[in-house]
A = this chain, B = another copy of it.
Amino acid sequence: MTATRRPSLVDQVRSGLLEDLVSGKLAPGAKLPNENEIGERFGVSRATVREAVLGLMEAGYLARRHGSGTYVTKAPRSRHALDSTVSYTEMIREAGHEPGVMVLSNTVREPTEEEAELFDVTGTILELERVRLADARPVIYSRDSIPSALIEGTPPQAMFRSLYAVLAEAGHEVRRATAELLPVLADTKLARVLEVKRGAPLLHIDQVDYDTKGHAVMLSLEWHVADAFELIVNRRA
């Protein structure tokens, strides 16, 4: 259905300002009008302007300086940042490569002890073993586990699409995730599926995805080829 909702006033102001940014009407380093003037332009209150600006600040486009003004950031936002996207398909595409997926296995099995503890629901686990491709080159090997109960009725061929889309359609949209990072060496199996040498450096990511209600809905074990694409993390004090 993808209900077409009226964008909030905050959204409208944010989009309006963003348009000025990408069109170049507001160049990097330029100073924005003050908050009252922006409010007049869009016909909204100052509180609404502030929330819109806050969003653009978090996205890295703007910087506020108390007592001075609001300015356009010089350094453009880093794409495919690890902390602001959860979809690797998107990440690969934004890095300028053609994303692809190869399904190695698709099984239903009993939960492991770790999974039984992690997931609130009981029952079997659907495990998907895949290799992601960037321009036909293997870049990520992953083993994803989802409780079968969460995606009952989803046709098997849907598994070839994004698991996030599958979960969202089943009413379990992923809102946030926790990822643990660990550098490892490629063993024989990983070397084969990722087409690297045995002992090559890989980044292992152990990730748990949570839906809007805060329930764990997917466990992902991933191994990333070292130089496939830049993995960026934005850190804040």
Contacts and interface: CB of A to CB of B under 8 A. Distances in A.
B230 A178 contact: no
Contacts of A236: 83-84, 86, 175-177
Interface residues of A, number: 48
Contacts of A65: 212-213
Protomer copies: 2
A204 to B, nearest CB: 8
A116 interface: no
Nearest to A29: B214
B201 A85 contact: no
Dominant secondary structure of chain A at its interface with chain B = strand
Nearest to A87: B237
A227 B85 contact: no
Contact of A233 (B78, B82, B216): B82
A226 B85 contact: no
Interface of A: 47, 63, 65, 71, 73-75, 78, 82-86, 164, 173-185, 199, 201-203, 207, 210, 212-214, 216, 224, 226-227, 230-237
